[in-house]
Chain A
Amino acid sequence: MIDIKNVSKSYKLSRKQRKEMGSDFVGNSVLAVDNISFLCKPGRIFGLIGPNGAGKTTMLRMIGTMLAPTSGIISVNGFDTVTHPQSVKQSLGFLSGNTGLYDRLTAEEMVKYYADLHEMSEIDYQKSRDRLFALLDMEEFAGRRIGKLSTGMMQKVNIARTMIHEPEVVVFDEPTSGLDVMASRSIIRLIKECGDEGRTVIFSSHRLAEIQSLCDDLAIIHKGELYFNGTYEEFESQKQEATLEDEFIRMVGEGEHV
């Protein structure tokens, strides 16, 4: 479970960054996330959508303990991300478009490295590895260096790395960006399976069709603020436009005028 209570995050700006913000900008910091609260439950897929710069990645990085909230509390499986980051990371799998792989390691070595960092026993590793490599069809390139793999193959390695320790909570930050249809499909299938297996899944994407087909719950954020938070059914019943895309544009567009 991921429980987010009144979370805000502001970034201090350097003199150079303040200059780049233009003469209209006042103050020393910028608010990336503004007093956001939501709950991601086990067995449900939580979709997080918002335009570029909305604060999605900042929010997910805070869940992943890479960033600390300026105020508010984030707890993952009952552990506070600031006071118990190691316990949080032990039960967390994090996959984003930004998470890179080591080109000079083989696919097998990369996955084993993360298993070792999670201090998995050899038996547990072998079991999980065999399941994932079969599921993702990775055996063929397990011994090849990552630098020599195609983008789709790399993403499979990234998924295996994320899931090797069978995390209870999984964060997917735009995992399909830059991928072709085939590679995207394997990730979507995996996200669905994670939900079916009872894991807590939070998923952000620009591809609204993916959100529509996968998510049980939904949050829309824009300029760091929460515009909607509820189940997908609630969203469907409240929406004023015919499609998710149109409704999203309407909400974000309205936000632009606020």
Chain B
Amino acid sequence: MFKIFTIIKKEMRDLVRDRRTMFFMIVFPAVILPLIIGGSTMLTTFVLKKEMDKILTVAIVGEEYDIELIRFLETQKKLILLMDLEAAVLQENILNESIDAAIVIPNSVQQNLRSHKSIELKLYFRSGKGESLKERRLNRILEGYFSPIQESRYLSLNLDKEVFEPYYITKIDVASEQEKFGKTIGTFLPYMFLLFCFSGAMYPALDLGAGEKERGTLETILTSPASQIEILTGKFVVVSIFGIMSVIFGLMGMLAAVKLNSDIPEEIVSIAMTILGAKPVVLILSLLIPIALFFASFLLSISFYAKTFKEAQSIMGPLNILIIFPIMIGLMPGITLNVSTAWVPILNVSLAMNDIISGTLSWPLYAEVMLSLLFFTGCSMWLSVKFVSREEVIFRG
């Protein structure tokens, strides 16, 4: 036991001094990722605000047919009206971006207004990235003009509005705010946590297996009185700790990002704080410990098998996709945590985390997930011990 502790102490000291490992364990989850999330939120808000503040140039054809509408449009902010364009050149002007949109008013406006008929307004716009916002803005403006007209028609005809609305639905969502929010971000967070755990464990595993083989330090330690099982156990523990620490730093980074981002509404911050509270965090970590051990044993086996650091890296790279696959299955509609899915490693963690975040976790299923994880971790550790004890693996190359 003392030798295992000595190995753990040394490996921790050694890895903490490795910049690459520290980057993937601390800087990436705790700093870079929250920066990306915070940055993208700020960027989205900024782009939306910019689009909403943009002055729209709108050509009007047939302005003489509805003077009231023109007066109304002229009172709108951030709107410039062009009255001198012909209908035939509207499309061309929108395509070459000299105007944003165009409204064509028919000559039958006044007659249709009097006879309570519909008026066909033609709205020219260009659909595509960011352009639908312009259309929505113009629609809202026109709605503002025609809504009172609609109301006055009901009044003049002595009609109740409900005559035209035979039913309406009042939605009563029984899900709590945490559940609603949790189900949305609950799909994203497990993905991030599992990825942090995997990438946080990957570099130490590379360094402590293939790296040691390549540098000749594995041969050195094999001559020490520590047995292969003790050496492997020490490395297992360290790689697992690094995987778990990556998730903890990721959690801290996300908490900081949520707290410091002023663009996130207060009620969402409050729900996020509940989600990332003590109980869910403890439950998430309880799932991450066995999955980190599972990743550690799996990654160390590959690392010891590889001849060189580069070979180990080239095997582990595509494994990221293998990890993503069960997580993606968890995102599919209808896939929930049940007695069957609780036995599938990675998928079960992803689904259980989703339920923890939403506050809908079933304890018997949680126990089943734990049982499954312990079983698969035990199997993978046993396999890697067998694997690493083989001479041809240790001295391969």
Q: Taking beta carbons and an 8 Å cutoff, which residues of A are in contact with B? A: 11-12, 61, 64-68, 85-86, 89-90, 92, 94, 96, 98-105, 109, 113-114, 116-119, 161
Contacts and interface: CB of A to CB of B under 8 A. Distances in A.
B146 interface: no
A118 B13 contact: no
A118 B224 CA distance: 7
B161 interface: no
**DSSP majority for the B interface?**
helix
Contact of A67 (B212, B224, B391): B391
Given A11-B392, A109-B13, A94 B227 contact: no
Interface string B139-163: 0000000000000000000000000
Interface residues of B, number: 26
B64 interface: no
B137 interface: no
Nearest to A99: B220
13 contacts: A64-B223, A67-B395, A89-B224, A96-B219, A99-B217, A99-B219, A101-B217, A102-B14, A109-B10, A116-B2, A117-B3, A117-B226, A118-B225
Contacts of B7: 117
B222 A86 contact: no
- Enumerate the 7 nearest inter-chain pairs by beta-carbon distance, A residue then B residue, closest first: A100-B216, A94-B223, A104-B17, A99-B220, A100-B215, A117-B224, A116-B6
B18 interface: yes
Given A67-B395, A104-B17, A89 B225 contact: yes
Nearest to B231: A117
Contacts of A64: 222-223
Interface in B200-254: 212, 215-217, 219-227
Given A12-B392, A67-B395, A102 B223 contact: no
Contacts of A67: 391, 395
Nearest to A105: B14
Contacts of B222: 64-66
Contacts of B221: 117
Nearest to B223: A94
Given A12-B392, A90-B225, A117 B6 contact: yes
